[in-house]
Amino acid sequence: MILLQAENISHKFDYPLFNNINLTLKTNESIAIIGVSGSGKSTLLHILSTLLKPDSGKVTLLERELNSLKTKELVDIRRNRLGMIFQSHYLFKGFSAYENLEVAALLSNEKIDDTLIERLNIQKVIMQKVTELSGGQQQRVSIARVLTKKPNIIFADEPTGNLDSETAVDVMKLFDEYIKNHTAGMILVTHDEQLALKCSHVYRLEDEKLIQVK
């Protein structure tokens, strides 16, 4: 099944970022997007994940074209079908790590998966307030929060940027298992070429184009 299809996407801010980009994500696949800082990777991820409307082009998610959706349908897809892990974590700061997972579980009608907490090695800090956690611990809580929702498409912008390389590899394994065992796929933006190469496909954003390198 095709989870995401982007056709002829173009966007500019002060200068053109990309032109006529095409991308397809299928079930059980992961795509890495690499490229120099400022090339537009985060912007592209925002477009693919419904947060930003492109200047032109079409995005189809889970067989529904975004332009044709009403706000309520869009909110519903975001809440239940998409998992977003962005550069800033968007955890609820006044809550404990566990309460953040509870909110995600409640909103998406899923159960908290204790093995996930152990896999991410956050069991010791799970009852602490988010503000008391280190950057890497917060990053792992936000990964647990997103996977708790059981999304079909994971959008991740430097999800392992605050982690040591060993933990980063573990987290990539977890993502890989998740997408293999669910009707799911992932689009990952990263500066780490070794992590990128663990994905099914790799693209480089360069000269306003998306060039496939794997």
Residues that bind ligand ATP (CB under 6 A): 13, 17, 35, 37-43
Torsion 145-53-184-87 (CA) sign: negative
Nearer to ligand ATP, 40 or 151 (CB): 40
- Name which position in 5, 24, 27, 42 contacts Mg ion (CB under 5 A): 42
Q: Which of 67, 60, 15 is nearest to 38 (CA)?
A: 15
28 binds Mg ion, rule: CB under 5 A: no
Report how far residue 103's alpha carbon sits from residue 79's, in angstroms, rounded to the nearest whole number: 11
Nearer to ligand ATP, 39 or 49 (CB): 39
Query: How near is the Cβ of 141 to ligand ATP at its closest, in Å?
Result: 22
51 binds Mg ion, rule: CB under 5 A: no
Query: How near is the Cβ of 151 to ligand ATP at its closest, in Å?
Result: 21
Query: How near is the Cβ of 46 to ligand ATP at its closest, in Å?
Result: 8
Query: How near is the Cβ of 153 to ligand ATP at its closest, in Å?
Result: 19
Phi and psi at residue 175, in whole multiples of 5°? -60, -45
Question: If you write DSSP's letter for every residue of 112-153 in order, what string do you get?
Answer: --HHHHHHTT-TTTTTSBGGGS-HHHHHHHHHHHHHHT--SE
End-to-end CA distance of the chain: 21
Report how far residue 125's alpha carbon sits from residue 132's, in angstroms, rounded to the nearest whole number: 9
17 binds, options Mg ion, ligand ATP, none, Cβ within 5 to 8 A by partner type? ligand ATP
83 binds, options ligand ATP, Mg ion, none, Cβ within 5 to 8 A by partner type? none
